[in-house]
Amino acid sequence: MIVKNKLTKEKLDIPYSEFRKKFAKEIQDAFESYRKTQLNILGTSKMTTH
C-alpha cells in the first residue's frame, strides 16, 4: 500500500496491516470528529425545520 501526503508529496510504502497499526488512533479520531459533526448538523437542521 502506498500512502501519499498531499501537502508534502511524501510517499510511504507499507503493508496494509502496518498502516492500520500506525494510523489506528488518527483514523479513530477522524471518524469520531466526523460523526460528531454529522450529528450536530442533523440536530441543527431538525431544530430549524419546526
pLDDT at 38: 86
pLDDT at 39: 82
pLDDT at 32: 94
Q: Specify the DSSP class assigned to residue 4.
A: E
pLDDT tens digit at each of 50 positions of the chain: 998 989 999 999 999 999 888 889 999 999 999 998 888 877 766 555 55
Residues near 5 by Cβ (< 8 Å), separated by ≥ 6? 11, 12
